[in-house]
Amino acid sequence: MLNLPQRVAGGGQEIQYVYDATGAKLAKTGSGGTEYYAGAMVYDETDLSYLMHDEGMVRIGHSGEARSYTYFYHLKDHLGNTRVEFQANPDNSYQVTQRQSYYPFGLCFEVAPAGENEYLYNGKELQKDLIAGRSLGWYDYGARFYDAALGRWHVQDPLAEKRINITPYNYVSNNPVLRIDLDGRLDGDYYDKELNKIGTDGIDDGKRYLVKDKGDQEHIKCNDAKGDVTYREELYTDVVTLPDDQLIIAMSDATDASNSPSIEANDAKGGFHEEGGTYGIDGSGNTMVVPSKPGQAGTFESGSVSVNNFDAADPSAVTSDYVMSGTYHVHPSGTQGNRYWKQRPTGTDKRNARVLARTPKSFTNGRVINGNHYVIGANNDRMIGGNRVYIYNSRNGSVASVPRDKLFNLVGK
């Protein structure tokens, strides 16, 4: 289902891999023995072998019950390729333990001294275990394995149908000098306020960014017309990170639920109650969305509707390692004569965002929330602010709004 190699064999030798349900590598067994992966920590068959950090790695030596720690630092180029590794000594001196150069698509040359570091091209782990007496030579990018000798992946892009104009085995659209790939998925895209795609940042992380400044938009469009990417550092203004597919799907589901009759919400017709929830990341850094119970139906005579975003529909889904980033909720679509529910964020919505950003709460696991919040206008009438998704936060108040239907249709693209 994950389309990742479980067994690579040849010449009487083999390498076996074990993954969790998300595709994260848990173990590798090959000519070098067995290694176990737990986030930044890597274990051999007996104990902790090394751990990775942002600037390099720490190798752990063992002598009986005693442990020693040797710190290595990696100097990288603009593509994240490790070019030099050096060891920090206790007397504040250092020694170079590895120098590395690469052909454009990542094949190594000039390894002198060789060193033990295997995190090389784009900072990815090179699979050096032997197959038929030779190093496998593939890089592990997470979603796929990459063969630098071919400049191609060994499996198709999981979103290949979204780019039918190029081979599903391509690496960074055949432009390794300007582009990098973080995990083997699609690259990050830039959009204007109406969610028209205007270019890419050349970093294959699948993220989407809203560019509000017209000058920056024109710069990105100009680069895109020439086949060039636009790095974030080139832009004069900050971009707005758009929600990922998992959060968009949750927003779409909440909108459908708000528009539908609900016994739990006492909404006989639909369109008179709010739905919502929270989003954030779990302990592995993956997006996590927790829908809430529906709010109770309101009337225009009572003047308001609301939902408690923190009252999870399934409390068991809220794990102890859940780090909340923000909230989302629907402003209903119901009307009565010329009356309608406000579609844009209310003053209360914005005040709540400011409170959550400065005051830890028990229902936020004792943390403040500084991420973006989203209000979905479920009414389709643009004249009253409907059919939009509004983005706001504690720092800037209202940040942007985008077309609701077009945002929902970005899923999988």
pLDDT band at 30 (very low <50, low <70, confident <90, very high): very high
pLDDT tens sequence across 339-355:
999 999 999 999 999 89
Task: Establish if 323 belongs to a structural domain.
Answer: yes
3-state secondary structure (DSSP) of residue 22: coil
281 neighbors 325 (Cβ within 8 angstroms): yes
The predicted model scores a pTM of 0.60
| Tokens (6 digits) for 138 | 């593939």
CB 289 within 8 A of CB 250: yes
Instruction: Report which of residues 383 and 180 the model is more confident about.
Output: 383
Residue 159, pLDDT score: 59
Domain boundary among 64, 86, 120: 120
257 and 113 fall within a common domain: no
CA distance linking residue 76 with residue 5, whole number of Å: 29
Give 286 or 407, the one with higher predicted confidence: 407
Domain range holding 267? 245-408
Q: How many domains does the chain have?
A: 2
> Do the domain assignments include residue 350?
yes
Average pLDDT value for residue range 124-144:
89
- The verdict on residue 339 lying in a domain is yes
- Coil/strand/helix, residue 286: coil
Whole-angstrom distance, CA of residue 83 vs CA of residue 76:
5
* Mean pLDDT, residues 306-317 taken together: 93
The DSSP output letter for 266 is T
Spatial contact of 390 and 377, defined as CB atoms under 8 Å apart: yes
pLDDT of 261 higher than 70: yes
Answer yes or no: do 112 and 260 share one domain.
no
Q: Tell me what the mean pLDDT of segment 198-216 comes to.
A: 86
Q: How many residues does the chain have?
A: 413
Q: Could you give the angle at the alpha carbon of 186 between the alpha carbons of 153 and 221, nearest 5°?
A: 125
Question: Which residue type sits at 353?
Answer: A
Instruction: Report the Cα 7 to chain-centroid distance in Å.
Output: 28
Determine the average pLDDT of the residues in 213-227.
90
pLDDT-based confidence at residue 194 (cuts at 50, 70, 90) = very high
58-72, 99-113, 127-141: range with lowest mean pLDDT = 99-113
| Bridging pattern class, strands 25-30 and 138-140 | unpaired
Total Cβ atoms within 10 A of residue 396: 12
Q: Report the chain's mean pLDDT, rounded to a whole number.
A: 88
Using alpha carbons only, how large is the chain's radius of gyration in Å? 25
Distances (CA, A) of 152 to 84, 148, 165, 369: 25, 7, 16, 41
Q: Can you tell me the distance from the alpha carbon of 121 to that of 180, in angstroms, rounded to the nearest whole number?
A: 10
Q: What is the mean pLDDT of residues 55-67?
A: 90
Q: How far apart are CA 345 and CA 391, in angstroms?
A: 9
Q: Does any domain span residue 168?
A: no
123-128: average pLDDT: 91
Of 410 and 237, the one with more pLDDT: 410
Query: Which strands sit side by side in the sheet containing 323-331, from one edge to the other?
Result: 287-291, 276-281, 323-331, 373-377, 388-393, 397-403
Domain-terminating residue out of 120, 139, 163:
120
- Over residues 221-250, the pLDDT tens digits come to 998 888 888 887 788 887 899 999 999 999
pLDDT tier, 138 (very low <50, low <70, confident <90, very high otherwise): very high
37 in a structural domain: yes
Which of residues 70, 98, 120 is at a domain's end?
Answer: 120
With pLDDT > 90 as the criterion, what percentage of the chain qualifies? 55
Strand partners, 200: 189
* C-beta separation of 115 from 156 below 8 A: no
Tell whether the model's pLDDT for residue 334 goes beyond 90.
yes
pLDDT surpasses 70 at 162: no
280 in any annotated domain = yes
User: What percent of the chain clears pLDDT 70, i.e. is strictly above it?
Assistant: 94
Cα 316 to Cα 360: distance, rounded to the nearest angstrom? 22
Looking at this protein, which amino acid is placed at residue 377? Answer: G
- By CB atoms closer than 10 A (0-12, 13-18, 19+), residue 397 is exposed
In this structure, is residue 290 part of a structural domain?
A: yes
As a whole number of angstroms, the distance between CA 178 and CA 222 comes to 16
Scan for tokens 């496998």, then name that residue.
Answer: 136
> Are residues 116 and 250 part of one domain?
no
How many Å apart are CA 190 and CA 174, to the nearest integer?
20
pLDDT at 373 over 60: yes
pLDDT beyond 70 at 297: yes
* Residue 30 belongs to some domain of the structure: yes
Q: Could you tell me if 110 and 253 lie in one domain?
A: no
